Amino acid sequence: MLLNRAFRIFVQFLLLIAGTLLADGYKNRLYFYWLSALIILFFILELYISKNEKINFELQEANHKISTLTILKSHNTNTLQISLFPKSVIYANKESEIDLYVTSSIPIDNVPQVKLLTNEEFEIKISNQIQHGKRFADNYEYILTNPLVDFKNNRYIHYRFYIVAKKHGSYELTVQVSDGKFEGKLVSTITAQKS
């Protein structure tokens, strides 16, 4: 796009200069004014072409976003896809690192908020700060503050937190991610083994 614009400007100047030199336009003042007006018109034309290319690019991005949202809605799929990866085996009464990856099918502006729902109480930490949960309807809810590790291209988000299971067994873990406009949900089971 930039190379194309530079080439157009070069060709326009080449034509103007060649026309001036071949027709002895530098001797006639009226021809010089005409040439100056033509150069200004070429610059204005370049500005409009550049603006048009930018608007077309934005239109294509918006069209892609609408198409993606339509496809996701028709298949009843979340816009934000979530993957949960424990760093190692989870043992009861031992801290375990959990990596949470969120990918968005469309670019998002805000980093989504992470909420964990569990059927048993856990100790959840981020940067050695305990995240306090609330109990309601036989579940525990944890809203994680500052778990963000990386946010790339407005589509790929990496979170990290640490959990400590109070006792061994299998636990249901629901991860909800929302940025106010789009949301994603993952229901998973984690197993804490005897240490």
Taking only the tens place, the pLDDT of each residue in 151-164 is 888 888 889 999 99
Q: Which pLDDT does position 3 carry in this prediction? A: 74
pLDDT above 70: percentage of residues in the chain: 86
pLDDT tier, 55 (very low <50, low <70, confident <90, very high otherwise): very high
Pull the structure tokens for residue 29.
């003042």
Question: Do residues 25 and 19 touch, judged by C-beta distance below 8 A?
Answer: yes
Q: What is the pLDDT of residues 122-159, one digit of tens each?
A: 888 888 888 888 888 888 999 888 887 888 888 888 89
Amino acid sitting at position 47: L
What is the Cα–Cα distance from 170 to 193, expressed in whole angstroms?
9
Question: Do residues 63 and 57 touch, judged by C-beta distance below 8 A?
Answer: no
Kindly report the average pLDDT of the chain as a whole number. Answer: 81
Question: Do residues 42 and 17 touch, judged by C-beta distance below 8 A?
Answer: no
Nearest to 184 by CA among 172, 174, 192, 170: 174
pLDDT above 90: percentage of residues in the chain: 4
What is the Cα–Cα distance from 188 to 175, expressed in whole angstroms?
8
Q: Which pLDDT does position 162 carry in this prediction? A: 92
What is the Cα–Cα distance from 23 to 159, expressed in whole angstroms?
69
What is the Cα–Cα distance from 161 to 99, expressed in whole angstroms?
7
Question: Do residues 166 and 122 touch, judged by C-beta distance below 8 A?
Answer: yes
Buried b (16+ CB within 10 A) or exposed e, 50-67: eeeeeeeeeeeeeeeeee
Q: Which pLDDT does position 74 carry in this prediction? A: 61
